[in-house]
Amino acid sequence: MKLAYWMYAGPAHIGTLRVASSFKNVHAIMHAPLGDDYFNVMRSMLERERNYTPVTASVVDRNVLARGSQEKVVDNIIRKDREETPDLVVLTPTCTSSILQEDLENFVERASQDTKGDVMLADVNHYRVNELQAADRTLEQIVKFYIKKAKKKGDLPEGKTEKPSVNIIGISTLGFHNQHDCTELKRLMADLGIEVNEVIPESASVHNLKNLPRAWFNLIPYREIGLMAAEYLESEFGTPYIDITPMGVVETARCIRKIQQVVNAQGANVDYEEFIDNQTLHVSQAAWFSRSIDCQNLTGKKAVVFGDNTHAAAMTKILAREMGIHVVWAGTYCKYDADWFREQVSEYCDQVIISEDNGEIGDAIARVEPSAIFGTQMERHVGKRLDIPCGVIAAPIHIQNFPIGYKPFMGYEGTNQIADLVYNSFTLGMEDHLLEIFGGHDTKEVIHKGISADSDLNWMKEAKAELNKVPGFVRGKVKRNTEKFARERGILDISLEVMYAAKEAVGA
């Protein structure tokens, strides 16, 4: 047992649901008690999704505990197959179903005899893997399933596409700026003359998975999701994969050079050096930003970085290598993949912190007092408490991290966005600092513009106490309305009763 207030990565089933619901026409059925379908709320709220989240629960209740859930699960799968005719139903175990130890595999078998669509059981152990690992695994599982199916039916397409092509693997729902990154990556590929063969799982159809082997290579933009699928495709079809995240100017160039190498090895004859040069020097503003006086002012400023592997590693490199900022420590909550992180960032920061404990991270921030933090929403709130600005670079995230405007983190437009994010975080801190040096905001109390500036009315003690409970931003309004009400009725003493009567009268 451990005492926990907050977690960075969610439970395993969230990862499975993220992958399943990213695909088109795939339905996930959770084997879970009432209330565990909170994923739907998150997707509907955070992603502002117009469509119903294709996730339902086969509810585990007392009756299920007594009788077993076979009948119910099988019925629910068959019912969903009829109602929505999905291509695939993914039965998703939760922590509850893990300990019930029912033979879900068998239920899937039974149900699939009566369904038009395919049915599979997500193979994730709740107590061993987290959201990210589960997502990686589920994606691999679905890819494998449909490759095997196509092989068996003999309709696996032969050979590669005519022109160099790529599968972009790992774009998913509820991922940090994933939609924007996806658009930016597609644009980058188009600029490089590379066809996008498939993007999975986001908006992909399972019917197209059999086309995956036709790509010349696979691009895995995120460390956390897609690697297992890429490894499988490599072992099965020899498709090479590139797992360099094109985030930041240097890493984007490195990724593009790797693409060049991979496609040239397969007979293409491309040279991207000029493209990289042109983008770096003239299109993206990030390289110029590094030379500008703005960025000069940031030299040696202290920052800390915390997030998932992909974003924390990329940000650390950008801050240290491209902006000359002093990264005191960089950290990740991807404990299971800590070695990779260490290897990536060790030379760019003084210290590496691997932790899933937000308290430990908060303390580490307080200890070094950086000028800016780059972290998750949790670090943003730590920053608020300590009065240190924070740029959010990784999940867990809130609704404001699902912007409507175009905000990729990847590719050349991504470098611009990141430069803004970094610069804005630091200057905000600078601005506050200057305000303090020069005596702060004008703090003279604003003269009451209400009708009851100097009160001839007597606020009785309990009413005054009640008024103080009213949130600050409406307190003035409540006070004015109450006094207006009292004055109109010739009441001199404002008691609790008067206060409520006033509220009823004006409805405010």
Partner 1 sequence: MSNTIQPEALTFECETGNYHTFCPISCVSWLYQKIEDSFFLVIGTKTCGYFLQNAMGVMIFAEPRYAMAELEEGDISAKLNDYNELKRLCLQIKRDRNPSVIVWIGTCTTEIIKMDLEGLAPKLESEIGIPIVVARANGLDYAFTQGEDTVLAAMAARCPKQVLEVEKEAKNGIQKLLSFGRKKEEVAAEKSEYVNHPPLILFGSLPDPVVTQLTLELKKQGIKVSGWLPAKHYTELPVIEEGYYVAGVNPFLSRTATTLMRRRKCKLIGAPFPIGPDGSKAWIEKICSVFGIEPQGLVEREEQIWNNLEDYIQLIRGKSVFFMGDNLLEISLARFLIRCGMTCPEIGIPYMDKRYQKAELEMLEKTCQEMGVRLPKIIEKPDNYNQIQRIYELQPDLVITGMAHANPLEARGINTKWSVEFTFAQIHGFTNARDILELVTRPLRRNNALKDLGWDKLVKEEAKV
Question: What does the block give as tokens for 77?
Answer: 């799968």
- Of positions 49, 337, 357, 432, contacts partner 1 by CB under 8 A: 49
Judging by beta carbons within 10 Å of its beta carbon (0-12, 13-18, 19+), is residue 9 exposed, middle or buried? buried
Of 7-15, 210-218, 291-299, 422-430, which part binds partner 1 (CB under 8 A)?
A: 7-15
For the sheet with 217-219, list strands across it.
195-201, 165-171, 217-219, 241-242
430 annotated ligand-binding residue: yes
- Of positions 95, 338, 386, 428, contacts partner 1 by CB under 8 A: 95
To partner 1, the closest distance from the beta carbon of 51 in angstroms equals: 6
Q: With binding defined as CB under 8 A, does residue 94 bind partner 1?
A: yes
490 annotated ligand-binding residue: no
Q: With binding defined as CB under 8 A, does residue 92 bind partner 1?
A: no
At residue 32, the 3 state secondary structure works out as: strand
Q: With binding defined as CB under 8 A, does residue 33 bind partner 1?
A: yes
To partner 1, the closest distance from the beta carbon of 430 in angstroms equals: 25
Q: Which of 252, 323, 266, 337 is nearest to 293 (CA)?
A: 323
Of 103-111, 277-285, 287-295, 460-468, which part binds partner 1 (CB under 8 A)?
A: 460-468
Q: Evaluate whether 96 touches 69 at the Cβ level (below 8 Å).
A: no
Nearer to partner 1, 273 or 462 (CB): 462
Q: Which of 198, 201, 178, 197 is nearest to 414 (CA)?
A: 178
Q: With binding defined as CB under 8 A, does residue 44 bind partner 1?
A: yes
- Of positions 84, 87, 195, 231, contacts partner 1 by CB under 8 A: 84
Distance of CA 11 to the CA centre of its chain: 14
Q: With binding defined as CB under 8 A, does residue 24 bind partner 1?
A: no
- Of positions 68, 70, 100, 285, contacts partner 1 by CB under 8 A: 100
> Residue 194 contacts by C-beta under 8 Å, 6 or more apart in sequence?
163, 164, 165, 166, 216, 259, 263
Q: With binding defined as CB under 8 A, does residue 190 bind partner 1?
A: no
Q: With binding defined as CB under 8 A, does residue 65 bind partner 1?
A: yes
Tell me the β-bridge partners of 93.
31
* Catalytic pick among 277, 294, 350, 363: 294
> Is 181 part of the annotated catalytic residue set?
no
36 annotated ligand-binding residue: yes
Nearer to partner 1, 265 or 465 (CB): 465
Question: What does the block give as tokens for 191?
Answer: 């600029």
Rounded-to-integer distance, Cα 325 and Cα 309, Å: 20
- Integer-rounded Cα radius of gyration of the chain: 28
461-to-132, 339, 485, 492, 504 alpha-carbon distances in Å: 55, 62, 18, 14, 21
Residues at the binding site for [4Fe-4S] cluster are 36
Name the site residues for partner 1 (rule: CB under 8 A).
Answer: 1-7, 10-11, 13-14, 32-38, 40-42, 44-45, 48-53, 56-62, 65, 76, 83-85, 94-96, 99-100, 126-128, 130, 378, 381, 384, 396, 398, 461-462, 465-466, 469, 496-497, 500, 503-505, 507
Output the known binding site. Answer: 36, 429-430
Active centre residues (catalytic): 294
